Amino acid sequence: MKFPGARSEVSYWASVQAQVQTKSSQTTPPKYTSLKDAGQLKLPSKPFIPKGLGQSSKPNENGTRGIIGEIDHRTPMLSRKYPWSTIGRVQGTTADAQSYHCTGAIIGENIVLTNAHCVIDPDTGKLSQQILFLPNVIDKQVQDVNDVASVEQVIYGTDFKSGSSLNSQDWALLKINKPLGRKYGYLGVKSLPSPTLISNQKKFFFVGYSRDFPTASYQQYFHAGSGWTASFQAGCSIVKEEANFLLHDCDTAAGSSGGPIIAIIDGEPYVVALNEGEIKDLQAHKDLINVAVKIDFLERLTSK
């Protein structure tokens, strides 16, 4: 397996490493279930907008708080309306009581989609001891503190026992203890053929809680620091499929793992791929390519 421009001695999966932030006490961990033991899962076939929530095509409708014309194409996600309301921060606690975060998207009343490496350490195989989902976090604020949900069960695509942190089944479904989808709505999920995805250049958008965002240009408008406000990018592309991975050009960084790549299909938002990580050239200090997970696994999981 060889990605464009990547040299194995300098490439690095930035998003696979947990972003350690603060220590947290351990609690009873979620129940972990592999794909083969999961049984049939019922998921909605279409997106859902709660009555009265409102919908907006503008992720920054509450103010730009930004500078126009930067090379970085990301802007802050500031909207509390649908579909932005469905994106949240996955907050985990490792086996050694360290805290980290990823990104997740609500795809059912109580189901959140993210990466497996956001709940299972690829290097050690250890499972996260506590996982929370914070919906629609903006500058470390949620609409209602009572909406912070605990993860009760994890269905994962891989436990990384193959010996590689790069895995085409790097996905996880989190069953949370609150039906947040009824309040915040949920995105649809649609597996499209790779040629269809690749032919629709600059048609997708991406949302993620990157640890390098808000960037310095935006920091004066925020108080919580990086990783606590999601970034939004429109007009990104899936450029190629290689070795069962999707390669994409959306702007990402650690913390945005598990973030949805979204397409508007018949006027409704669907997750069509799942951001996994970035390959970096450590010597040149630059990104080479970004990698996403195909979501055809949901067809296998829901059709058993």
* pLDDT tens digits for range 206-257: 999 988 887 777 777 888 788 899 999 999 999 999 989 999 988 888 889 9
Residue 285 has a pLDDT of 58
Structural domain count, the chain:
1
Mean pLDDT calculated for residue range 144-157: 95
Residue 25 located in a structural domain: yes
**CATH number of the domain within which 278 lies:** 2.40.10.120
Q: What percent of the chain has pLDDT over 70?
A: 83
- Under DSSP, is residue 13 helix (H, G, I), strand (E, B) or coil? strand
Q: With 0-12 CB in 10 A as exposed, 13-18 as middle and 19+ as buried, what is 194?
A: middle
Q: Which of 180, 187, 165 is CA-nearest to residue 264?
A: 187
**Does residue 279 contact residue 13 with C-beta atoms inside 8 Å?**
yes
Residue 130 located in a structural domain: yes
Residue 214: cis peptide before it, omega within 30 degrees of 0: yes
Domain of residue 258: give its range. 14-47+74-302
Residue 104's beta-bridge partner residues? 88
Q: Which of 151, 146, 157, 32 is CA-nearest to residue 91?
A: 151
Q: Which of 90-94, 133-137, 208-212, 296-300 has the highest mean pLDDT?
A: 133-137
Residue 69 located in a structural domain: no
| Assigned token pair, 115 | 């990466």
What distance in Å separates the CA atoms of residue 110 and residue 48, rounded to the nearest whole number? 13
Residue 221 has a pLDDT of 81
Q: What percent of the chain has pLDDT over 90?
A: 54
Q: Which of 44, 38, 229, 32 is CA-nearest to residue 134?
A: 229
Residue 126 located in a structural domain: yes
Residue 233's beta-bridge partner residues? 206
Q: Which of 11, 13, 9 is CA-nearest to residue 278?
A: 13
Residue 60 located in a structural domain: no
**Does residue 131 contact residue 119 with C-beta atoms inside 8 Å?**
yes
Residue 56 located in a structural domain: no
On whether the pTM is more than 0.85, the answer is yes
pLDDT at 25 over 80: no
A 10 A CB-CB count for 200 gives 14
